[in-house]
């Protein structure tokens, strides 16, 4: 997989993960917010419905109090409660019945109350409905005994009770469901009054199709009273439903699972006035609604984000990988001829790619220097071979001749001649060696000492020398014959018209940043013009050795300070210094410093 493709895939996966994380956090935060809002809404709706139901019960209670506030009605109830009517005519024309009927009819049929009934223990009832349609005469006293709320009504000793939703008991072939408020007159001794409100009237009040709440009312004994859903008519253990519920949030709101397996948020409130309970339940699927709300937004964010990220990452990756492609192109097109000149560094950003390019460029520079050095060393070796060819003398022939001379010296008992021949043979063997390009400092100094010893035979007392070499630098490398050329140059130019003894001093030692070899003489010295000419020649030679590898052989060949400088520069490049300095007392010092 290409590097750019990896960048695109990595950043795309990262963005998708961030998007999913964002959607998850967004969903969780909104779920908590929606849940808190739903809890507050349930509590508020429950409070309002409790107030409404309290007003309904209070109105029913007020009807009873109004009817019983008339003393004539109370007197009529005393007669009505003890009378077991023998016939319809007796019931219809009874003055007590008429009085009660008149008081009840004050309220008349209305939407507020379905029916107001006064009845006695014998089952005779008086209703505010149409006289012929709604008055039920029942001589079967067991009907009263079988009323579901009769025992509670008798036990309450004149206090009103709430009767839960049931089919009304006082009309044949009537399937109307009602709730009731019933009271015993004078501790139930004088009969009973029941005020009914139909389920339809309650539904019109409590059922709102625009709201997602359902309401379940329980009596003070937690029996079923009224519900906005018919299935609660079959609920037998609504209290157990609450007891087994898990608390879902604060404010008393709980999460329940109803008999149909639905999860609901529910809130239980209580009427302090009448003692009934209200369970308010939310039909809203909070998670589902939130999911439907978040899902489209999440898909839009996800798809849009992926598209934007792909475009952005493509543009970014193209910009990021451009320096890499440049570096790749540079590496593929790098040749020996353009290793140094091919330089797109100015176009690259200042980052790790530039650092990599800088390291690569540094490698090319070191490689170029090594190639140049090897070429220069090869040229030096070739030039040495040319110099030997120009001499047209076979070194073995010279060695043989020197051996003949040495043998003659032995025959003639001439030790000096033998010593000269031996030293000269050693020098020729060292100087004509074309195999080794470099020599140790110790070997080079030994060669210089042989050279000076031979010159001593020639100049005798006109020449003296001293050599001092620190053991720490003996194994360091030098181009062969470099020091000898400096010594030869000192003798050639130092003698001149000098009448006194010429002293050559060679000192090799360590210095703080490397090591050095110094060649000093007490000769005629060097003029400023000659010194300037040497320094100019060094500068030109250094420039040609650095920039023009094809013409350096023209500068090599011959001896002297220029040749020594060339050999040292090829080996050490800028890690050496060569200095020619006239002495105030006369003479010249040539110093070679090698920087470690």
Among residues 2, 26, 25, 10, which one has the least CA distance to residue 309?
10
Q: Three-state SS string across 425-485, please?
A: HHHHHHHCCCCCCEEEHHHHHHHHHHHHHHHHHHHHHHEEEEEEECHHHCCCEEECCHHHH
Cβ neighbours, 10 Å, residue 100: 24
CA distance 28 to 363: 57
- Determine the 3-state secondary structure of 25 from DSSP: helix
CA distance 242 to 221: 15
Q: How many CA atoms lie within 13 A of 220 on its CB side?
A: 9
CA distance 276 to 278: 7
State the sign of the Cα–Cα–Cα–Cα dihedral 67, 69, 71, 75.
Answer: positive
Residue identified by tokens 């779920």 is 31
In degrees rounded to 5, what are phi and psi of residue 489? -65, -40
Cβ neighbourhood burial of 202 (10 Å; 0-12, 13-18, 19+):
buried
Q: How far is CA 413 from the centre of its chain?
A: 96
- Alpha carbon separation from 246 to 43, 254, 262 (Å, rounded): 17, 6, 14
Contacts of 541 by beta carbon, 8 Å cutoff, 6+ apart: 555, 562, 565, 566, 569
pLDDT of the chain along its 596 residues, tens only?
566 677 777 777 887 788 778 777 877 787 777 778 888 888 898 999 999 999 999 999 999 999 888 888 888 888 888 887 777 778 778 888 888 888 888 876 666 788 888 888 887 888 876 544 444 444 444 467 667 788 888 888 778 899 988 887 666 556 788 899 999 888 778 888 999 998 888 888 888 766 778 888 988 887 888 988 765 544 445 555 555 555 444 567 777 766 667 777 888 888 989 888 888 888 656 666 666 666 677 678 777 777 877 787 777 777 767 777 777 777 777 766 666 665 655 566 656 667 777 777 777 777 777 777 776 666 666 555 545 444 444 555 566 656 667 766 767 667 777 777 777 777 777 776 656 778 899 998 998 888 888 888 878 888 899 999 999 999 998 888 888 888 888 888 877 666 678 899 999 999 988 999 999 998 888 888 888 888 888 888 788 777 654 444 434 444 478 878 887 887 788 888 999 998 887 889 999 999 88
Alpha-carbon torsion angle 421, 456, 489, 590, nearest 10 = 120
Cβ neighbourhood burial of 480 (10 Å; 0-12, 13-18, 19+):
buried
CA distance 580 to 520: 10
């Amino acid at each position: 997989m290409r590097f750019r493709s990896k960048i695109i895939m990595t950043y795309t996966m990262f963005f998708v993960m961030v998007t999913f994380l964002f959607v998850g956090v967004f969903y969780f935060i909104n779920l908590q917010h929606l849940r808190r809002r739903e809890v507050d809404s349930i509590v508020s709706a429950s409070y309002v419905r409790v107030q409404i139901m309290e007003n309904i019960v209070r109105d029913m209670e007020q009807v009873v109090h109004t009817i019983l506030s008339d003393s004539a009605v109370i007197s009529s109830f005393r007669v009505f409660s003890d009378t077991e009517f023998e016939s319809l005519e007796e019931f219809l024309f009874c003055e007590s019945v008429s009085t009660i009927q008149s008081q009840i009819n004050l309220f008349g049929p209305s939407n507020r109350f379905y029916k107001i009934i006064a009845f006695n223990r014998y089952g005779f009832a008086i209703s505010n409905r149409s006289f012929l349609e709604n008055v039920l005469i029942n001589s079967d006293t067991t009907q009263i005994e079988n009323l579901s709320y009769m025992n509670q009504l008798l036990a309450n000793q004149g206090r009103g009770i709430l009767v839960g939703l049931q089919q009304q008991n006082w009309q044949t072939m009537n399937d109307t469901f009602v709730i009731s408020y019933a009271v015993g007159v004078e501790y139930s001794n004088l009969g009973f009054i029941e005020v009914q409100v139909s389920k339809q009237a309650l539904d019109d009040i409590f059922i709102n199709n625009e709201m997602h709440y359902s309401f379940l009312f329980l009596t003070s004994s937690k029996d079923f009273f009224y519900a906005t859903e018919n299935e609660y008519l079959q609920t037998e253990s609504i209290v157990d439903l609450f007891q087994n519920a898990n608390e879902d949030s604060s404010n008393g709101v709980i999460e329940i699972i109803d008999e149909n397996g639905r999860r609901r948020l529910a809130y239980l409130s209580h009427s302090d006035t009448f003692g009934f309970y209200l369970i308010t339940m939310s039909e809203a699927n909070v998670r589902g609604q939130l999911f439907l709300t978040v899902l489209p937004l999440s898909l839009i964010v996800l798809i849009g984000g992926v598209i934007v990220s792909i475009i952005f990452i493509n543009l970014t990756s193209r910009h990021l990988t451009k320096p890499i492609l440049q570096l790749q192109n540079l590496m593929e097109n790098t040749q020996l001829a353009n290793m140094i000149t091919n330089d797109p560094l100015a176009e690259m950003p200042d980052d790790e790619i530039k650092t990599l390019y800088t390291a690569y460029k540094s490698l090319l520079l070191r490689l170029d220097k090594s190639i140049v050095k090897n070429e220069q060393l090869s040229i030096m070796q070739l030039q040495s071979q040319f110099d030997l060819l120009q001499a047209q003398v076979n070194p073995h022939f010279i060695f043989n001749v020197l051996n003949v001379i040495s043998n003659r010296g032995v025959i003639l008992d001439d030790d000096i001649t033998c010593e000269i021949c031996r030293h000269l043979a050693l020098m020729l063997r060292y100087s004509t060696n074309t195999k080794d390009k470099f020599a140790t400092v110790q070997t080079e100094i030994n060669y210089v000492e042989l050279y000076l010893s031979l010159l001593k035979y020639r100049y005798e007392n006109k020449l003296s020398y001293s050599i001092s070499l620190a053991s720490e630098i003996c194994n360091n490398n030098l181009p062969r014959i470099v020091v000898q050329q400096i010594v030869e140059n000192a003798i050639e130019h130092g003698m001149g018209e000098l009448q006194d003894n010429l002293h050559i001093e060679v000192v090799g030692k360590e210095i703080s940043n490397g090591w050095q070899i110094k060649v000093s003489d007490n000769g005629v010295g060097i003029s400023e013009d000659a010194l300037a000419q040497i320094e100019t020649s060094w500068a030109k030679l250094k420039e040609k050795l650095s920039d023009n590898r094809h013409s350096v052989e023209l500068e090599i060949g011959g001896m002297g300070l220029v040749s020594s400088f060339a050999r040292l520069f090829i080996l050490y490049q800028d890690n050496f210094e060569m200095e020619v300095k006239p002495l105030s007392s006369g003479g010249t010092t040539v110093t070679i410093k090698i920087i470690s």
